Amino acid sequence: MKIISVVGARPNFMKIAPFIRAIEEYNSSGPDETIEHTLVHTGQHYDDRMSKAFFKALNIPDADINLGIGSGTHAEQVGQTMIAFEKVVKDIEPDWVVVVGDVNATLACSVTAKKENVKCCHIEAGLRSGDMTMPEEINRLVTDRLSDLLLIPDKLSGENLKKEGASERSVVFVGNIMIDTLDANLAKAKDISIEEIINKNYLIESAAQKKVEDNFAVLTLHRPSNVDEKEILTPIVNFLCDEVAEDMPLIWTVHPRTQKQLKLFGLWEKVTSAENIILLHPLSYHEMLRLNMDAKIMLTDSGGLQEECTVLGTPCITLRWNTERPITLRQHGGASVIVGNNIKRIREEYQKTLLLDRTPTRPKLWDGQTAHRCLDAIISFNK
Ligand code: UD1
């Protein structure tokens, strides 16, 4: 059997790593027919810190093919990926194309696979935020509508797919593949010191002298809905500098998009001169995990971090108006609460969250064994 799996952007790498390992283990178990696997990187993320570092840290083999797409508008990224990926599919003639998550690579390659009449499997299917202004929601909807095999991380996702008319046969509950990676890397992350993380990754030299002990907050912010408009980003930055950083050191790992916007809106000076804010480059997988293991509070607009906070128990506030991952919310047993970008609401929930203890929870099948179930579902699809 021939499988092409696709990655494009940072959140894909931790999802594909265990899947590739599952294929390797399957092939070395002496099956009747081995799997011929090709890894395609669309090249959407290309900075070493956003891409190469993850391949290395997670032992992902070098991509067999890199489409070199890079940055651009959505139509440019999706269009160029489709043109380049079509050639790959025609050349390799795979039985399956496996896509993960909800980035532009996921959409572009699932559409291309189906146009070439190749079966498509979506790992992390069925997530829905209901927010059509999110590029990821469009990517999820289209990919799921087209995929032959929908591998879901939780039962709520299965309900979404059922409502949309997905056939029962196409949906398989496998659990959350990101947690395979988390479990496999906890011990290594534990060995890193916070001081080392700051010294290796500071954006501004003065951060090297900053000391962080037990009580610290971690922030990540990159969604266009938070960072692309001055009227939204400015009050968030004021809240972070004038309130959160007054309470405790705030470690902020700055996404390239966010750095660009802070400079554009004249906010860079404010964040770089704030005494208690430690600005870091995007971190490696293990470094981020290490911070998450000890953070007093996580403030984020990332979906993946909400999930990791749930398993680690880190009290989290999600700077979004909705989430495609309701299982990570406190009302469903998770660690997070949605606060949008209204400062009054952020402040209220931030203060409540500070009072919470770390309470790890594991939704069903978030057990570190999801990748094997994904591969089993593909292998048994035609049987
Ligand atoms: C993408 C995903 C998003 C995911 C995020 C994680 C889509 C639609 N969005 O958003 O779901 O949460 O990745 O990071 O696929 N840039 C660099 N170096 C890079 C990559 C990007 O400097 O290696 C800069 C460029 O200026 C680029 C901007 O960041 O224009 C945004 O990158 P892009 O890949 O378009 O989207 P992300 O915001 O990273």
Do 152 and 296 reside in the same domain of the chain? no
Which residue ranges have their beta carbon within 6 Å of ligand 1?
A: 9-11, 44-47, 50, 71, 103-104, 135-136, 222, 255-257, 260
Instruction: Note whether 123 and 140 are within 8 A (CB).
Output: no
CA distance 167 to 41: 30
Residues 6+ apart with CB under 8 A from 165: none
Do 324 and 346 reside in the same domain of the chain? yes
Ligand 1 atom nearest the C-alpha of 135 is 8
For ligand 1, atom 9: residue with the closest CA: 103
Do 91 and 125 reside in the same domain of the chain? yes
Distance 358 CA to ligand 1 centre (A): 31
Do 254 and 371 reside in the same domain of the chain? no
What's the full length of the chain, in residues? 383
Instruction: Note whether 358 and 312 are within 8 A (CB).
Output: yes
Task: Provide the pLDDT for residue 26.
Answer: 98
Distance 69 CA to ligand 1 centre (A): 12
Instruction: Note whether 354 and 297 are within 8 A (CB).
Output: yes
Q: What is the dihedral of CA 117, 121, 126, 131, to 10 degrees?
A: -60
Task: Provide the pLDDT for residue 37.
Answer: 98
Question: Can you give the residue range of the structural domain that contains 167?
Answer: 2-176+366-379
**pLDDT band per the 50, 70, 90 thresholds, residue 382:** confident
CA distance 158 to 328: 16
Task: Provide the pLDDT for residue 228.
Answer: 97
Task: Provide the pLDDT for residue 211.
Answer: 79
Pocket test for ligand 1, best of 49, 257, 264, 302 (most atoms within 8 A of CB): 257
For ligand 1, atom 14: residue with the closest CA: 10
Q: How many domains does the chain have?
A: 2
**pLDDT band per the 50, 70, 90 thresholds, residue 210:** confident
Task: Provide the pLDDT for residue 8.
Answer: 98
Asked whether residue 156 carries a pLDDT value surpassing 80, the answer given is: yes
Task: Provide the pLDDT for residue 383.
Answer: 72
Do 218 and 166 reside in the same domain of the chain? no
Do 157 and 205 reside in the same domain of the chain? no
- Give me the residue label for tokens 């509508």: 145
Report which secondary-structure segment, H or E, holds 247.
helix 245-247
**pLDDT band per the 50, 70, 90 thresholds, residue 158:** very high
Do 119 and 201 reside in the same domain of the chain? no
> Helix (H, G, I), strand (E, B), or coil: what is residue 251?
strand
Does residue 361 lie within any of the structural domains?
A: no
List the structure tokens of 323. Answer: 């989430």
Task: Provide the pLDDT for residue 93.
Answer: 98
> Can you give the pTM of this predicted structure?
0.96
- Give me the residue label for tokens 């939204």: 232
Distance 81 CA to ligand 1 centre (A): 15
Mean pLDDT over the full length of the chain:
96
**pLDDT band per the 50, 70, 90 thresholds, residue 366:** very high
For ligand 1, atom 28: residue with the closest CA: 257
Do 80 and 107 reside in the same domain of the chain? yes
Ligand 1 atom nearest the C-alpha of 224 is 38
Task: Provide the pLDDT for residue 279.
Answer: 96
- pLDDT tens digits along 310-349: 999 999 999 999 999 999 999 999 999 999 999 999 999 9
- pLDDT tens digits along 72-83: 999 999 999 999
Do 224 and 311 reside in the same domain of the chain? yes
Do 94 and 223 reside in the same domain of the chain? no
Q: Which of 217, 318, 236, 339 is nearest to 277 (CA)?
A: 217
Do 102 and 136 reside in the same domain of the chain? yes
Does residue 360 lie within any of the structural domains?
A: no
Instruction: Note whether 360 and 183 are within 8 A (CB).
Output: no
Task: Provide the pLDDT for residue 221.
Answer: 97
Do 159 and 232 reside in the same domain of the chain? no
Asked whether residue 213 carries a pLDDT value surpassing 90, the answer given is: no
Asked whether residue 208 carries a pLDDT value surpassing 80, the answer given is: no
- pLDDT tens digits along 80-99: 999 999 999 999 999 999 99
Task: Provide the pLDDT for residue 205.
Answer: 85
- Give me the residue label for tokens 């609460």: 337
Q: Taking the chain, what is the end-to-end CA distance rounded to the nearest angstrom?
A: 13
Task: Provide the pLDDT for residue 214.
Answer: 80
Q: Quick check: is 222 catalytic?
A: yes
For ligand 1, atom 18: residue with the closest CA: 47
- pLDDT tens digits along 162-198: 999 999 999 999 999 999 999 999 999 999 999 999 9
Counting other chains too, the contacts that 65-68 makes at CB distance below 8 Å and 24 or more residues apart are 65/38, 65/39, 65/40, 65/41, 66/40, 66/41, 66/42, 67/40, 67/41, 67/42, 67/43, 68/43
Ligand 1 atom nearest the C-alpha of 8 is 15
> Helix (H, G, I), strand (E, B), or coil: what is residue 122?
strand
Task: Please report, for the domain that includes residue 329, its CATH number.
Answer: 3.40.50.2000
Does residue 89 lie within any of the structural domains?
A: yes
- pLDDT tens digits along 19-65: 999 999 999 999 999 999 999 999 999 999 999 999 999 999 999 99
List the structure tokens of 74. Answer: 């959505």
